Amino acid sequence: MGPVVADVTAVQQAAETIAGRVAAMVRDLPDVNIRIPNSEWLVSEAAAHLTYANLGMAMMARGLEIPHGDGTREGLAVANALSLEGFTERDGAVLSDRMVAGATMVFDEARVQPPDRICPTPMGRMPVETLTSYLVVHEAMHGSAIATAVGAPWPFEPEHVPLMWPFISYVLPKVADARQMPGQACLELHFGDVFTCALMIHDRSVEPTLTPSMPPDCIVTSDAQTLFLVIVKVFTVQEALDAGDLTLSGPNPELGLRMADFFNIP
């Protein structure tokens, strides 16, 4: 498979679709202050975070720097808590409208930027096309967490996962935890029939790639939605295995059980 070049129209459609579905979950919820499973946040707080982040990414797409943590899980947790103290809107209907508007604003800005635009973000400086992919990942991750609380379907489609590759391939090396990684390994990830990639590990650092340079030690196979949610830690690998939604194969399948621990996902 060659490099994934995401068409901006497809990325915009994905981001706006996900934002619209998350907004629909929240807009008419009788009680937005219900706890998200395995999270410190309430639905209202996660929705506020998404709204704030979408508006912030629109400014980042313009090239403006919005200080927000240091890119680590711990630093972003502190920054998120501070932003929620300052951004106090918790009305589901208001947040829903602003969330969707913010997603559209990101692309309004992205489309008029010079081709060499570099955007400062909490996860480092990146091209604008990586930022728009970041938006899709961020919405899908937090939107799916909200879905677990309200019993809604996942807000993203399997075909949205390839559009996430520019950001996923950029960010995984930045959040890798060398203490948890083997010295050398290859994990091949099959996101159903829509996408395949590999994690090449050398000297306890990782290179995400579409074309592995060695045979896989472990092959992780799942549907696209489940495998994405495992990577961003909405599910654990064991939970997906127990549900029959994920399989591990290859000469060293136990590497797959440890895969999520290789990354300190914010």
Number of helices and strands in the chain (H, E): 9, 7
pLDDT of 4 reads: 54
State how far the Cα of 145 lies from the Cα of 166, in Å rounded to an integer.
Answer: 22
pLDDT of 6 reads: 65
Contact 216, 250 (CB under 8 A): yes
pLDDT of 76 reads: 94
pLDDT of 128 reads: 96
pLDDT of 212 reads: 93
Rounded average pLDDT per 10-residue block, the chain, 266 residues: 67 98 96 95 98 97 93 92 96 98 98 95 96 98 98 98 97 96 97 98 96 96 98 95 98 96 91
Rama region for 128: left / alpha / beta (φ>0; ψ in -120 to 50; rest)? alpha
Computed on alpha carbons and rounded to an integer, the radius of gyration of the chain in Å comes to: 18
DSSP conformation class of 195: E
pLDDT of 73 reads: 87
pTM: 0.96
Tens of pLDDT, residue by residue over 59-106, are 999 999 999 999 888 999 999 999 999 999 999 999 999 999 999 999
Contact 54, 102 (CB under 8 A): yes
State how far the Cα of 42 lies from the Cα of 36, in Å rounded to an integer.
Answer: 6
pLDDT of 165 reads: 97
Share of the chain above pLDDT 70, in %: 98
